[in-house]
A and B are shown apart, each in its own frame.
Chain A
C-alpha cells in the first residue's frame, strides 16, 4: 500500500516535470537549476544617430537636411535636430560626452589628456584607447568570450568561450579602479552601437572624444543566437553591426554602467 503511494507520488512528479520545462522554455521559472529573476525595466535614453543630412528618394545624399523627400526623415528628428541638444561643443550633434581622467574626475571639453568618456545621454562610461603600451592600447585584439561575455557562466551556454580573451583587460581595469570604477565589462551590441556616429565613416565615431579608434571590428558581449560559432561586433569602418567567428581576434572597448 505504501509502495503504491510512493509510486503514485513519483508518477505525479514525472507528470509535473515536463510542464516545469515548458515554463523554463518561456524563461519564467528555472533553466537547468538557474533561477530566472525578472529584470526590472528601468527607463533609459537612446542616443540619436549622428545623421544631420538627408537622403534622396532613390540616390544621392544632401549636405543639408533638405532633399527630394518631402516627409521628415532621420535628420529632422531627435536630439540631432533639436537646437537645445545638438551643440557640437559636447560631441557631434546630439551626442553629449564628458571627458574623465584616469581617476574619474570630469574634465572640460578642451582637455587634451583623458582616459574615459561619459555619455550623458545613455549614462554609459567608455574606455578611451591609447597609443601607449599596455592593456588599453588601441591595437590589442582578442578572441571572443572572456569575462563578462553574455552567457559565459550560464550552464546552457552554446559554443566556445575563448580564454584568455580580454580577461586581463577587464580584470586589471577593475583592480586598478580605472577612471574610478570597478565594474568594467564588454558592451552589448546595443550599447556598442549607441556610440556609432552614422553621420560619418572611417571611423564611424566622434574621434574628438574617442581618439585612437580604428576603422576595424570591435567585439560586443552579445553572442549570435542562431550560430554558436559567431558573436556580434560593430565595424567602425562604416558603423554597421556585423557577426564574426568567435575565434577571430578583434578589438574591444570597455564600458561600465550604474545598472
Chain B
C-alpha cells in the first residue's frame, strides 16, 4: 500500500523532489478546503483556527513560494522578524504579525502525511525541517520549542540554532 501510494505520488507530483507521502487511513484534518488562499498577498487563512499565515517560509516569496531561499535564524532574530515587518511596511496590509506559539504551529502540521507534514497547496515549498515557535522551554532554559515538519512532531531546540520561520496573525 505504501509503495503504491509512493509511486502514485511520484506520478502526480510535478516535482519529483517534493514527493510528500500521505496515508489514506489517517484522517485528513487538513484538506484543501480548510484553507482560504490569497496567492497574490501570499497569505492563507485557516478556516478551522481563524489564524492567518504567511504561505511562505521567511526568505521565500511568490505564488508558489518559488522565489528566494528559505532563511534560518536563532530565536532572538526570529522573534525580531515580525517586529521589524510590523514597524515598517507590514505584510498583506497587516501590522500584527508574530511568531506562532507551539500549539498554533502544531495546528498546521498535517500528520496524515510526512516529508513534509503540511498541506502543500496552502503552504507551498515547505521544507521537511524545523520551524521556530515563540514558546520557550521550561525544563531546559537554553531551548525553545520547534515543530519538525518532516513528521509534525514537536522538539526542543537550542535557542541559538538557525531554524526556519513562518509568521502568523490572528485574522480579523
Residues on A lying within 8 angstroms of B by beta carbon are 21-22, 24-27, 31-32, 36, 38-39, 41-49, 51, 53-61, 69-74, 77-78, 150-151, 154, 156-158, 188-190, 193-194, 198-201, 204, 222-226, 228, 232, 238-243
User: In the complex, are the beta carbons of B27 and A150 less than 8 A apart?
Assistant: yes
Known: A55-B159, A154-B24, A198-B138. A193 touches B75 (CB 8 A): no
Given the complex, which residues of A lie within 8 Å of B48, measured CB to CB?
A: 41-44
Quick check: is B22 within 8 A (CB to CB) of the other chain? yes
Within 8 A of A (CB), among B115-172: 115, 117, 133-139, 141-142, 144-145, 151, 153-156, 159-160
Given the complex, which residues of B lie within 8 Å of A21, measured CB to CB?
A: 8
User: In the complex, are the beta carbons of B114 and A55 less than 8 A apart?
Assistant: no
User: In the complex, are the beta carbons of B151 and A25 less than 8 A apart?
Assistant: no
User: In the complex, are the beta carbons of B151 and A225 less than 8 A apart?
Assistant: yes
User: In the complex, are the beta carbons of B145 and A198 less than 8 A apart?
Assistant: yes
Interface size on B, residues (CB 8 A): 62
Nearest CB of chain B from residue A192's CB, rounded to whole Å:
11
Quick check: is B50 within 8 A (CB to CB) of the other chain? yes
Nearest CB of chain B from residue A22's CB, rounded to whole Å:
6
Within 8 A of A (CB), among B68-102: 74-76, 79-80, 82-83, 98-99, 101-102
Quick check: is B66 within 8 A (CB to CB) of the other chain? no
User: In the complex, are the beta carbons of B26 and A55 less than 8 A apart?
Assistant: no
Residues on B lying within 8 angstroms of A by beta carbon are 1-2, 5, 8-9, 11-12, 21-29, 31, 33-34, 47-50, 74-76, 79-80, 82-83, 98-99, 101-104, 106-107, 111-115, 117, 133-139, 141-142, 144-145, 151, 153-156, 159-160
How far is it, in angstroms, between the C-alpha of A160 and the C-alpha of B107 when the chains are bound?
27
User: What are 16 A-B contacts with C-beta separation under 8 Å?
Assistant: A25-B22, A25-B24, A43-B50, A48-B101, A58-B74, A60-B141, A60-B142, A72-B83, A72-B98, A77-B134, A154-B25, A158-B2, A225-B21, A225-B26, A225-B151, A240-B155
Given the complex, which residues of B lie within 8 Å of A158, measured CB to CB?
A: 1-2, 23, 25
Interface of A is mostly: loop
Known: A27-B22, A39-B28, A46-B49. A201 touches B98 (CB 8 A): no
User: In the complex, are the beta carbons of B12 and A57 less than 8 A apart?
Assistant: no
Nearest CB of chain A from residue B7's CB, rounded to whole Å:
10
How far is it, in angstroms, between the C-alpha of A38 and the C-alpha of B160 when the chains are bound?
42
Nearest CB of chain B from residue A228's CB, rounded to whole Å:
8
User: In the complex, are the beta carbons of B79 and A72 less than 8 A apart?
Assistant: yes
Nearest CB of chain A from residue B114's CB, rounded to whole Å:
5
How far is it, in angstroms, between the C-alpha of A198 and the C-alpha of B134 when the chains are bound?
12
How far is it, in angstroms, between the C-alpha of A150 and the C-alpha of B119 when the chains are bound?
19
Given the complex, which residues of B lie within 8 Å of A44, measured CB to CB?
A: 48-49
Given the complex, which residues of A lie within 8 Å of B117, measured CB to CB?
A: 225
Nearest chain A residue, comparing its CB with the CB of B24: A31
User: In the complex, are the beta carbons of A49 and B102 less than 8 A apart?
Assistant: yes
Nearest chain A residue, comparing its CB with the CB of B150: A226
User: In the complex, are the beta carbons of A41 and B34 less than 8 A apart?
Assistant: yes
User: In the complex, are the beta carbons of B136 and A73 less than 8 A apart?
Assistant: yes
Nearest CB of chain A from residue B33's CB, rounded to whole Å:
6
